Amino acid sequence: MSKKAPRAVLKSHMRKKSDIRVGKNADLMVQLNLLLVLHRLAEESRLKAFEEKTATIKVHHVKAVAKKLLKSTRG
């Protein structure tokens, strides 16, 4: 992944809520969190494909894992 999200756009989105203090490098933390989530999604999807004995990760593997990850984060 060679491109990063534009820092100015992230900062403007985060500053729309004026009642929340945003640190200097909060946008970098958002990017890092996104990369960690995508990495976890890729790893879980690879495991799901391996369980079904497929050589490639398909859309239904990613969707199933994403649904499972969303349920686990919501409680």
pLDDT in the model for residue 5: 67
For residue 20, what is the DSSP state? S
This prediction has a pTM of 0.72
Residue 12, pLDDT > 70, answer yes
CA angle 24, 3, 62 (to 5 degrees): 105
Q: How far does CA 32 lie from the centroid of its chain?
A: 9
Q: How many CA atoms lie within 13 A of 42 on its CB side?
A: 6
Q: What is the mean pLDDT of the chain?
A: 84
- Does residue 22 carry a pLDDT above 90? no
